[in-house]
Amino acid sequence: MKIALAGNPNSGKTTLFNGLTGSNQYVGNWPGVTVEKKEGKLLADKSITLTDLPGIYSLSPYTNEEIVARNYLINEHPDVIINIVDATNLERNLYLTTQLREIGIPVVVALNMMDVVRKQGTFICVKSLEEAYGCPFVEISALRSEGFTDLLNKVYSVKGTEPQKRLIFDHHIEEHVNELENTLGDLNYKRYYAVRLLENDQRLGIEVSKETLETAERVRKELEGIFDDDIESIFATERYEYIEKSMKTCHKCGLKKTFNPDTILMNKYLALPIFAFVMFCVYYISVTTIGTIATDWVNDTLIGEIIIPGAQNLLASIGTSEWLIALITDGVIGGVGAVLGFLPQLALLFFLLSLLEDSGYMARIAFLLDKIFRKFGLSGKSFIPILIGTGCSVPGIMASRTIESESDRKMTVITTSFMPCSAKLPVIAMISGAMFGGASWVAPSAYFIGIVAILISGLVLKKTKPFKSEEAPFIMELPAYHMPKASNVFKHTWERVRSFAVKAGTVIFVACIVIWLLSNFNFAFEMVDSNESMLADIGSVIAPVFKPLGFGTWEASVATLTGLAAKENIVGTFGVLYGTAEVAEDGMEIWANLQQAFTPLSAYCFLIFNLLCAPCIGALGAIKREIGKGKIAVFALTYQTIFAYIVTFIMYNVGKVFF
């Protein structure tokens, strides 16, 4: 038996899904789109599969989520639809109910958040609702796991039954819908198709006869004449009028006035300072203090002093050859470990973001900043990924998941890594120390260029095809504030941390091995120093490419290449290439070598190119994961590199005139 779970965003759908299935769920993407698909077996009955449809407001043919939900319902023939409805926001939620009802698949409505409704003193009459919509309504609280047994009993009882008819629309419309249904022969879901045809839906997914199309065309014209309105508006208005009417008999609003935090949080003068303070706290806790302490401990103590020496000893004791020990410890553990070292920071960050999301404040951030960001083709929600990106691009890119609009999200994913992350700081420190006497303008200028790169890219990408087509409207619900629930927040955090760890175990694992091999062997497969390795050879081949940018030495090219594994490698690579094995974070030992190899201008160009060009392999993996399609990930990489090249080229050649 198959059940589909449908409902508005913010109706508690995911909570109900988790409550009904436990944690044994399968998460994937719907074919062809990056909308997440979740499936799970019911805890109460393992023979029942529950599919969590994307959160939607309507079955209109305009957004990815809506199309995915429609296609699933029509093509996969679930036995029952559970329509979860936020009972504190009944009127708007019932709009989708009227649409789900007309498909013809039995519907059970789960009235969620009934505990809150009762607390507000609001009265909802379940009997009248069932009467009005012709399907069972069950009171539940997904958060408190209340009413689940009732809900499932109702699901069993409606399975296989013919849904009751209700006249939602004006009699003119009902007659015409019937007329159109009759032309559809023995098609499944006739009423659904008839209404869609009348609405002139262009993504019907079926072929219909010429007669049907002509009838639809004629009937549509007639109705538009009778109502003096266009067809989409007629249907929407009729649905809401029916709902309003039903609300009169089954809903009595509580008189309790609750305090609205927005009076302060969105106050004209206080909103921005409060927002800045909240962001400061998030950043301070996760990136600069507690998170960093934990991350440093994992990197230096746990991995550096315990795991790597331990592994070395273990492997040596069982007689492993030296090169394999080096591959495993330096290449794999060192490389993957460097990425996994971010885990504590990430976990803390995701935890705080989940708090903001769950409480409802995240939507207000978008509301607050939308005006600024949309000038550059980004959304108000792009702020968070960019801010986090200053710590590490990987969680920054992953944080872009909270952006609903597909084009805004892609744009944010592609541009987030322009921000100098913490791994780029050693490079900045090295260049500024060696070439500019540690001048205080170097680091801020890197951030400034990062921000400008994001904004310019917003403007440029907006003009390109993948981002232009879907100018997403900013018509957003501002959900009521509520206390985040611990288990939800932990679940959110855990899911994100896990997907990060999985990636480190796959993409990054392979990349680390490849880069290690390239930098430790020559083309004759002999183990050599890195300045004679394949990587060095490749470096000298591509060095001419960087000549127009001012840094056409093979060392600089190799450093740029190893920077792809992790940006802080750039400093280490210079250390190895200039013959100093160990270098401090700012590479002080090799400043003299750098001063000979670079001019201040070419060094600055080298710095900027490395900040803007393709990010490290970890971030690339994140981009690929978040964008989904390989083609766009390649586009992202190409765009970033070309963008960096052009900017640096201009900088160097203009700079040459002045310096």
Partner 1 sequence: MTNTLDKIKPGQTVRVTKLGGEGAVRRRIMDMGLTKGTNVYVERMAPLGDPMELRLRGYSLSIRKADAEFIEVV
Closer to partner 1 at the Cβ: 342 or 373? 373
Task: Provide, rounded to whole angstroms, the least separation between the CB of residue 236 and partner 1.
Answer: 4
Candidate list 477, 526, 532, 585; residue touching partner 1; CB under 8 A: 477
483 CA to centre of own chain: 23
Task: Please tell me whether residue 271 binds partner 1 under the rule CB under 8 A.
Answer: yes
Task: Provide, rounded to whole angstroms, the least separation between the CB of residue 253 and partner 1.
Answer: 8
Contact in structure between 52 and 38 (CB atoms under 8 Å): yes
- Local structure of 104: helix, strand or coil: coil
Q: Which residues contact 569 (CB under 8 A, 6 or more apart)?
A: 559, 562, 563
Q: Which residues contact 101 (CB under 8 A, 6 or more apart)?
A: 107, 133, 134, 135, 163, 166, 168
Closer to partner 1 at the Cβ: 478 or 634? 478
Task: Please tell me whether residue 125 binds partner 1 under the rule CB under 8 A.
Answer: no
Task: Please tell me whether residue 528 binds partner 1 under the rule CB under 8 A.
Answer: no
Instruction: Report the run of H or E that residue 123 belongs to, with start and end.
Output: strand 123-124
Task: Please tell me whether residue 296 binds partner 1 under the rule CB under 8 A.
Answer: no
Amino acid at 144: R
Task: Provide, rounded to whole angstroms, the least separation between the CB of residue 202 and partner 1.
Answer: 11
Task: Provide, rounded to whole angstroms, the least separation between the CB of residue 104 and partner 1.
Answer: 21
Contact in structure between 205 and 66 (CB atoms under 8 Å): no
Task: Please tell me whether residue 237 binds partner 1 under the rule CB under 8 A.
Answer: yes
Q: Could you tell me the strand order of the sheet in which 107-112 lies?
A: 25-29, 36-41, 49-52, 2-7, 80-86, 107-112, 137-139
Task: Provide, rounded to whole angstroms, the least separation between the CB of residue 420 and partner 1.
Answer: 27
Task: Please tell me whether residue 278 binds partner 1 under the rule CB under 8 A.
Answer: no
Task: Please tell me whether residue 197 binds partner 1 under the rule CB under 8 A.
Answer: no
Taking the CA of residue 449 as centre, how many other CA atoms within 13 Å lie in the half-sphere pointing to its CB? 23
In angstroms, rounded to a whole number, what is the distance separating the alpha carbons of residues 600 and 433?
A: 11
Task: Provide, rounded to whole angstroms, the least separation between the CB of residue 479 and partner 1.
Answer: 8
Task: Please tell me whether residue 233 binds partner 1 under the rule CB under 8 A.
Answer: yes
Using CB under 8 A, which residues numbered 444 to 473 contact partner 1?
A: 473
Closer to partner 1 at the Cβ: 63 or 602? 63
Residue in this structure with the two tokens 């819908």, named with its chain if needed: 177
Pairing of strands 36-41, 25-29: antiparallel
Task: Provide, rounded to whole angstroms, the least separation between the CB of residue 206 and partner 1.
Answer: 21
Q: Which residues contact 185 (CB under 8 A, 6 or more apart)?
A: none
Contact in structure between 458 and 602 (CB atoms under 8 Å): no
Task: Please tell me whether residue 259 binds partner 1 under the rule CB under 8 A.
Answer: no
Task: Provide, rounded to whole angstroms, the least separation between the CB of residue 36 and partner 1.
Answer: 21
Q: Which residues contact 231 (CB under 8 A, 6 or more apart)?
A: 198, 199, 200, 220, 223, 224
Candidate list 325, 326, 332, 480; residue touching partner 1; CB under 8 A: 480
Assigned token pair, 448:
């400034």
Query: Residue 58: what are its φ and ψ, rounded to 5°?
Result: -160, 165
Binding mask 369-388 for partner 1 (x = CB under 8 A): xxxx-x--------------
Supply the DSSP symbol for 102. T
Task: Please tell me whether residue 39 binds partner 1 under the rule CB under 8 A.
Answer: no
Task: Please tell me whether residue 116 binds partner 1 under the rule CB under 8 A.
Answer: no
Candidate list 33, 126, 208, 266; residue touching partner 1; CB under 8 A: 266
Stretch that binds partner 1, among 235-243, 607-615, 636-644, 650-658 (CB under 8 A): 235-243
Task: Please tell me whether residue 60 binds partner 1 under the rule CB under 8 A.
Answer: yes
Task: Provide, rounded to whole angstroms, the least separation between the CB of residue 86 and partner 1.
Answer: 9
Stretch that binds partner 1, among 324-332, 419-427, 435-443, 477-485 (CB under 8 A): 477-485
- Closest to 336 (Cα-Cα) out of 118, 488, 509, 528: 509
Binding mask 238-257 for partner 1 (x = CB under 8 A): --xx-----------x----
Closer to partner 1 at the Cβ: 233 or 506? 233
Task: Please tell me whether residue 404 binds partner 1 under the rule CB under 8 A.
Answer: no
Task: Provide, rounded to whole angstroms, the least separation between the CB of residue 406 and partner 1.
Answer: 12
Contact in structure between 327 and 517 (CB atoms under 8 Å): yes
Q: Which residues contact 616 (CB under 8 A, 6 or more apart)?
A: 393, 423, 563, 564, 565, 566, 567
In terms of Cβ atoms closer than 10 Å to its own Cβ (0-12, 13-18, 19+), residue 322 is exposed
Task: Please tell me whether residue 68 binds partner 1 under the rule CB under 8 A.
Answer: no
Task: Please tell me whether residue 6 binds partner 1 under the rule CB under 8 A.
Answer: no
Tell me how many residues contact partner 1 (CB under 8 A): 42
Residue numbers of the site for partner 1 (CB under 8 A)? 57-58, 60, 62-63, 88-92, 95, 229, 232-233, 236-237, 240-241, 253, 262, 266-269, 271-272, 363, 367-372, 374, 473-480
